[in-house]
Amino acid sequence: MAIGLEVFPEMVPIAGVRLGSACAGIKYKNHPDLTLIEIAPGGSCTGVFTRNAFCAAPVTIAKKHLKETEPRYLLINSGNANAGLGQPGIDAAIQCCDSVAKNSNTASNQVLPFSTGVIGEHLPAEKIAAAVPELLNQLSDTGWQQAAQAIMTTDTRPKGYSETIQIDGCPITITGISKGAGMIKPDMATMLAFIATDANIEPSLLNSMLLIAANKSFNRITIDGDTSTNDACMLIASGQTELPEISDPSCPAAEKFQALLDRVCEYLAVAIIRDGEGATKLIEVVVEGAIDQSEALSVGYTVAESPLVKTAMFASDPNWGRILAAVGRAGVSDLDIEHISIYLDDLCIVENGGRAESYREELGAAVMQAEAVKILIQLGRGQHTEKLWTTDLSYDYVRINAEYRT
């Protein structure tokens, strides 16, 4: 359904970054399934990756190459995850890097591979190699939308965001794309995100800034509680701006850039939830008054991943008892239910350990009709707050995943 994603936004080009897309025929004929991102010399790149023990071959190779040198190219294919294949998967990922290197006069370890699609099927590296010359020929600083389309799997819409701000009188832009619609759960999800900026950021600071932003966004989304083998979020800084290098995390320029990066990552992460497989509702879960982050996230994810809560949301059924029960089984020690309040948007449904006196079923039903619903849980135990996003659970989610390989 792609809640609120009807129009792809205008994407501001990033100086020093070009993108090209092509059809390699990996899963379907005449379907864009391959993207190449070129980073001009002098740019830097950092990333965060899945923590799944069965991480895909491209994740292994990308992490290795990223440690060895500054990358010049990012190669992304959809239609095949190149995961669960052992050494043949590693060999296929390296073969893809070699093909880009051969055609661009760069070293193989300057190419980072990324894949998304079905797990356990051999990657047709020869098809990808054959398409590399076209990828290089198609490189353009305006290729963001085509790239967003080429990396899609069960997504129904391409996802992108771009924003420019002034830092010390100099325009700074961040532009990015993401993909993902199912198998979404930190850390991170079956998602890919590629974000670029023209800012000049000291490499170690660039990495820490991405970690901060990802932990507020990509690591706060869940559709079905499944963590993928392939997910990655990459941040490129081309450095092609007049603003001097940002190296001090506490300086005003760094703080402004971090705030912008946080917004871009949150938009791209929530866009994945908006396009969740079979989703009809965007659900924001906010937990306030927790003792610490762990406690807040435990409560938040227990509610967000409850099949009973999610199906009630799909039915627009204000069955608030399902939310209350999920909070109660979240594993919080010494939980005093007398201090807990629960809201649907601004409507109080639980207070003082039970149903709010002011609550009426018709009021809850009215709130649940909306495409976006907020569940606010106030624990009354501390000062910590966490926010995350999820979807409802519809008939179509089952159909899409039952038919995924057919």
**Tens-place pLDDT, residues 11-58:** 999 999 999 999 999 988 888 999 999 999 999 999 999 888 888 999
Q: Looking at residue 276, what is its pLDDT? A: 80
Q: Which of 53, 200, 58 is nearest to 123 (CA)?
A: 58
Residue 9: predicted pLDDT: 95
Q: Known catalytic residue: 190?
A: yes
Rg (CA), the chain: 22
What pLDDT, on a 0 to 100 scale, did the predictor assign at position 373?
Answer: 96
Looking at residue 395, its pLDDT comes to 86
Domain 282-402 fold? Ubiquitin-like (UB roll) (3.10.20)
Backbone torsions φ then ψ of 374, nearest 5 degrees: -105, 130
Q: Which residues of the chain have pLDDT under 50?
A: 184, 186-189
What pLDDT shows up at residue 403? 74
Task: Specify the residue for token string 């832009």.
Answer: 173
Output the pLDDT for position 60. 96
Q: What pLDDT, on a 0 to 100 scale, did the predictor assign at position 54?
A: 85
The residue type of 179 is K
What does the chain come to in residues? 406
CATH superfamily to which 17-274 belongs? L-amino peptidase D-ALA esterase/amidase (3.60.70.12)
The catalytically annotated residue of 190, 241, 280, 390 is 190
Distance between CA 36 and CA 77 in Å, rounded?
A: 9
Four-point Cα dihedral 117, 229, 136, 177, nearest 10: 90
**What is residue 186's predicted lDDT score, i.e. its pLDDT?**
47
Q: Which residues of 114-143 are buried (b: 16+ CB within 10 A; e: fewer)?
A: bbbbebebebbbebbbebbeebbebbebeb
pLDDT digits (tens, 9 = 90+) for 159-174: 999 999 999 999 999 9
In the chain, domain spans:
17-274, 282-402
